[in-house]
Structure 1
Amino acid sequence: MPESFRRGGPRIKRSLLASLLCAGLLAAPALAAFAASKAEAETAKPLNSDLDAPLFYQLLVGELELRAGQPGVAYQVLLDAARRSSDEELFTRVVSIALQARAGDQALLAAKAWRETLPKSTAAQQMTVQLLALLNRPAEVAEPLRALLALTPEAQRPGVLVSLPRLFQRAAEPKKVLATLDPVLEAAAAQPLTRLAARVTQARFAIQAGDSARALAIAKDIAQQYPESDEPMQLALELMPSQTAAEALIKTRLAATPANHALRLAYGQALARAQRAGDAAREFRSITEAAPSISTAWFALGALELDLRHAREAESALNQYLQLLDQAAATPGSAEASVPAQAQADSEARQQAWLMLAQAAEMRGDFQAAEAWLLKVDGAERVTEAQFRRASLLARQGRLSEARKVVQAMAEDTPEKLRGKLLAESQLLRDMREWQLAYELLAKANERLPDDADMLYEQSMMAEKLSRFDEMEALLRKVIKIKPDHHHAYNALGYSLAERNIRLDEARNLIAKALSFVPNEPFILDSMGWVEFRLGNKAEAVRLLRQSYASRPDAEIAAHLGEALWASGEQAEARRIWQEGMQRDAKNEALQETIKRLKVGL
């Protein structure tokens, strides 16, 4: 209990008159106002109060003690008054006093007194559940939760259930929360009206407890029982990164309801987050064909086409997106034209679209068009991105020194801005294949920002480019120590070993660890396919590399898949894959080296 909450004790020494005087309640202005309204007061009909004199005195003293900096005294006086009066608002006030004094245990005691005094109070049960969650005491939640559900009208019980995971989202021991609440939720799942909400809540608690397998099983069960419900689809979207089978639920629903554009949008976004750009682009492309008026699908498609280095396709999608924004803004009464928040969001989206169009033009080598798009960008939140794109244009034109000065002029008045600035300059040097300069920059950056996992990772990649493999490995192991779930570090180290054809079993274990965090990430699947190829497992290598290439048709993945196919006797398909890779990125080093080493004519 806080010291300030203990001070003073329960003693009440002041007289009522003294307390009133101390509070200034009998000051001259108040007396004057009373005299001025005396005639009106005499004729007005009196309003009777439920307060008796002792209760009034308790309330007054409690509030005065609180004003005088004695929350402990106020708490005790007002809690006694709440018990005597059975007043819900007064119990709420007592709990609030304890919480403001950071006395969580006393707040819980007040809530329990409230429950005992008013056992049929929904608010009392609800407050107790909330406080137990706040105080990380899940073992005590079951009883008040059962009481809360029993007191809540049937139509409102699903809402109570689905709110529970958010209430316990910061619980220190989520497995204990699941174990404690499971019996309550099972009982609720036995009732038709609360079955769906209870099962969804169980799944969410399972996710929080790290039991994604159970969460997926529940999601499948819900999807079977409620074939039109959105909840199992939302669960499946959340489970996609850790449970590959979750995706099948979404595909099944989309096959049954192909016009469910909201689900397809969410699915596409989940695929994009998983770095499966090719798969995500397919879903957004499907939406634009079926419902061309959905502007967000065009925006997402444009971003993904750009990521896939399809410059003209990206420009087409983004221009269509801007056209739809213009049409919406010009339509009287539309949300885009009339709601300030929507107008602001559209303005920010335009800025981002212009930046992407500049990048697409730069990708095509049309620097004049790229600069024209950049001139449109004037939003403060996009200044840094616009500066980087201008720097990139200068570098692409052979003016690297000028380009670096543009980046170096960026603000660095916060750690986040400094970090972004350093990473931007290193990316600029990487794009220009200035490995040594990038390495030196990142080495100095890591002196300024020590133990920054991402900065160390970038330095390790430059060390690899310079064939400093021992240093690369040391840096990556440091990254893993700082951030044990940094899947890129596991993958990079495993891939480097596989690429050099050494310590292949260790390489496989490292890449498997990376996949345990992101099971379907295309580049990590590519790494696993490549190590299997190095180990001589050609069939498994082709299977994994096909899966990787289908999700993200990248030039380097094309190089690996093509070589695995070539070695497996499927030379015609290998040539086709390599040709596709050359069309996307003819300068890709891995692809060029593979074709040259195998002496393949395309």
Structure 2
Amino acid sequence: MDYYGPMVLSHRRFRPFALAWLLAAGLLPAALAQPAAPQDMVPAPPPEVEDAEHPLDDNETALTAELFYELLMSEMSASNGDAATGYALMLDAARRSNDPRLYRRASELALQSRSAEAALIAIHAWNAAYPESREANRYLLYVLVTLNRVNESAEPLAKEVARATTREKLSTIRALPQLYARASNKAAAARVVAQALQAELKHPALGSAAWTTIGRMRLTAGDKAGALEAARSALELDHTDDGAAMLAVQLLDEGSKDAEALLLPYLAATPLPEVRMAYARQLLESQRLADAQVQIDAVTRERPDASEPWLIQASLKLQSGDLAGADTALEQFTKLLEQVPPSEARTRALNQAWLMHAQVAEKRGDYAQAEAWLERIDGGVQTLSTQMRRASLLARQGKLSQARALIRAMPADSAEEERLKWQAEAQLLRDAGDYQQAYEMQGKAVALAPQDNDLAYDLAMLAEKAGRLQEAERLLRAIIARKPDHHHALNALGYLLADRGERLSEARTLITRALEHAPDDPFITDSLGWVEFRLGNRERALSLLEQAFKTQPDAEIAAHLGEVLWSMKRRERALEIWREGQRLNGDNETLRETLKRLGVTL
């Protein structure tokens, strides 16, 4: 059973001659013969169920002149925009004829006039006349939810679940979060649904779906702990359940650290590529690029004809320094898109590919080729992202003033676009090593959105680079005051103190707090390793930094790991790590400064 499908017309009808005359005269709309459900209305039951609800056949139903006139006037009123009058006449006809089709039509006319309360009167009358009618019960359920009378919906919901076959129950259970999405009291909705599904929780074919639905509704209500418990119960019953696995990914996105462990048995089986993709996006968000790479590799093997995984593959390859791999992935991505009919979405996707191709060429130092790729973007339309890439190309060729002029010449139709322009200029200056001016440009962006923690965080990082250490500390502490779980700010402040060798105990506390909110972030693990090194705990530092570098090979982590190894007289291993870091990003400032300070030439 699909809760949101079209209404099903009973094959029974009024006396043929009367109905045919009304239709032929254009006075009785087809809606009476084939009533249309309100948007998102639950459908009528299958014909065999509906037959039981329409016991009056053609020989038993007489369309009297009075009833005929009432139906005619009802439909004419509705056709002329007076649905309320049409409803009243139709409900009166339904009560006098006791025909369930007229009760249904009265309910629809009430809903058409946006009077859910009036519809409820008709539906209650319908349910009273036909207490075993599943169709009437479904209408009642729909309208009660629409009216936000969630607690009252418990009884018709329980009846619907109890009356459905096992196959119908499965689709019904899965549709409940959508049905109750309109309810304002999410906690009450979750409670009502959980109560209605109690009998299904241990059913071998339904239990996992029931727990998943309960989990989704608990999550919507803000009950993360309850949602996590529901996801765990669902996956214990069936570790291959795609819906339960997706719920675990949603919980991971909401910060539930224990949700990831629930996914492992699912991922070890035959996971749905869409679930893998959702999980990979969470890994990317957590900067766990190596783990994300494993999932994307699997998706591209399992579904090579899906385009999006190839774009993410290209991004991962680009970030890891594998430029040839990035090219290959982009070629596959564009090849697949060329098979898709032209559309705005296709154009946007191709633009992303051309931009990334330009980045790859820029990394190779082939600026002419990079410009050629940019020329392909949307027929040369001067979008901000395109111009930012062009500005980057100019800056890399030593034409910083031209690059800044290019950004400033871009029109800005809103405060957001103006902010993006200041950010773009700040990035150009940062890449050029002019941290003081970059700090000033970023400050202009922050002034346009002073409560934006991410903008303030970037400003703090530039303040640190510009030598404004007290200002950087002030900005970071302000972010933490506004958002105590901002793990990036916690980590940055802890690292700032550790790198200066100041207040190391506080630094470790800050970084530990950051790691509690993002336990798998390799860069926070790197910070903790660095503060342990500053505290003199070399073995502990080495363990943490090796873990971070294994999770995310990165030039800055390589700089720290190499220095710890160097201090422990493990010189060959240190050189090996530094060379790997140089291969990943030879321009990394931390790596270059470390090698210079230690007098090491690779």
TM normalised by structure 2 equals 0.76
Greater mean alpha carbon deviation, residues 510-519 or residues 298-307: 510-519
- Aligned-partner Cα distance in 1 for 2:506–2:91: 64
- Aligned-partner Cα distance in 1 for 2:476–2:542: 28
Distance 1:187 1:314, change over 3 A: same
Q: Do the aligned residues in 2 keep the contact of 1:351 with 1:379 (CA within 8 Å)?
A: no
1:184 equivalent to 2:199? Answer no
Give the secondary structure class of the aligned counterpart of 2:108. Answer: helix
Partner of 1:403: 403
Q: Do the aligned residues in 2 keep the contact of 1:488 with 1:514 (CA within 8 Å)?
A: yes
Task: Name the amino acid aligned to 1:491.
Answer: N
Aligned match for 1:325, one of 322, 336, 340: 336
Q: Do the aligned residues in 1 keep the contact of 2:91 with 2:103 (CA within 8 Å)?
A: no
Task: Name the amino acid aligned to 1:392.
Answer: S
1:204 equivalent to 2:213? Answer no
Aligned match for 1:147, one of 141, 155, 159: 159
Partner of 2:373: 373
Task: Name the amino acid aligned to 2:495.
Answer: Y
1:299 equivalent to 2:314? Answer no
Q: Do the aligned residues in 2 keep the contact of 1:95 with 1:107 (CA within 8 Å)?
A: yes
Greater mean alpha carbon deviation, residues 138-147 or residues 476-485: 476-485
Give the secondary structure class of the aligned counterpart of 2:587. Answer: coil
Task: Name the amino acid aligned to 1:90.
Answer: R
* Runs of at least 5 residues in structure 1 that lack an aligned partner in the other structure: 1-29, 32-47, 330-335
Q: What is the Cα deviation at residue 455 of structure 1?
A: 2.8
Partner of 1:92: 107
Task: Name the amino acid aligned to 1:147.
Answer: K
Q: RMSD of the alignment, in Å?
A: 4.0
Q: What is the Cα deviation at residue 376 of structure 1?
A: 1.5
Question: Aligned runs of 1:182-261 on 2, under 5 Å?
Answer: 182-212=194-224, 215-241=227-253, 242-257=255-270
Distance 1:398 1:166, change over 3 A: same
- Aligned-partner Cα distance in 2 for 1:224–1:203: 14
1:313 equivalent to 2:325? Answer yes
Q: Do the aligned residues in 2 keep the contact of 1:141 with 1:181 (CA within 8 Å)?
A: no
Partner of 1:525: 525
- Aligned-partner Cα distance in 1 for 2:292–2:496: 28
* Runs of at least 5 residues in structure 2 that lack an aligned partner in the other structure: 1-25, 28-60
- Aligned-partner Cα distance in 2 for 1:202–1:491: 36
- Aligned-partner Cα distance in 2 for 1:505–1:114: 72
- Aligned-partner Cα distance in 2 for 1:536–1:81: 89
Task: Name the amino acid aligned to 1:356.
Answer: M
Distance 1:63 1:152, change over 3 A: farther
Partner of 1:447: 447
Greater mean alpha carbon deviation, residues 363-372 or residues 559-568: 559-568
TM normalised by structure 1 equals 0.76
Greater mean alpha carbon deviation, residues 133-142 or residues 179-188: 133-142
- Aligned-partner Cα distance in 1 for 2:576–2:360: 25
Q: Do the aligned residues in 2 keep the contact of 1:55 with 1:81 (CA within 8 Å)?
A: no
Q: What is the Cα deviation at residue 358 of structure 1?
A: 0.6
Q: What is the Cα deviation at residue 389 of structure 1?
A: 0.7
Partner of 2:426: 426
Q: What is the Cα deviation at residue 288 of structure 1?
A: 5.2
- Aligned-partner Cα distance in 2 for 1:540–1:280: 27
Task: Name the amino acid aligned to 2:209.
Answer: A
Distance 1:537 1:244, change over 3 A: farther
Partner of 1:39: none
Q: Do the aligned residues in 2 keep the contact of 1:439 with 1:462 (CA within 8 Å)?
A: yes
Q: Do the aligned residues in 2 keep the contact of 1:161 with 1:197 (CA within 8 Å)?
A: yes
Partner of 1:383: 383
Question: Aligned runs of 1:560-575 on 2, under 5 Å?
Answer: 560-567=560-567, 571-575=571-575
Distance 1:165 1:51, change over 3 A: farther
Greater mean alpha carbon deviation, residues 450-459 or residues 126-135: 126-135
Q: Do the aligned residues in 2 keep the contact of 1:122 with 1:152 (CA within 8 Å)?
A: no
1:156 equivalent to 2:168? Answer yes
Q: What is the Cα deviation at residue 365 of structure 1?
A: 1.3
- Aligned-partner Cα distance in 1 for 2:395–2:247: 45
- Aligned-partner Cα distance in 1 for 2:518–2:304: 32
Distance 1:190 1:394, change over 3 A: same
What is the number of equivalent residue pairs in this alignment?
A: 540
Q: Do the aligned residues in 1 keep the contact of 2:511 with 2:528 (CA within 8 Å)?
A: yes
Partner of 1:361: 361
Q: Do the aligned residues in 1 keep the contact of 2:526 with 2:544 (CA within 8 Å)?
A: yes
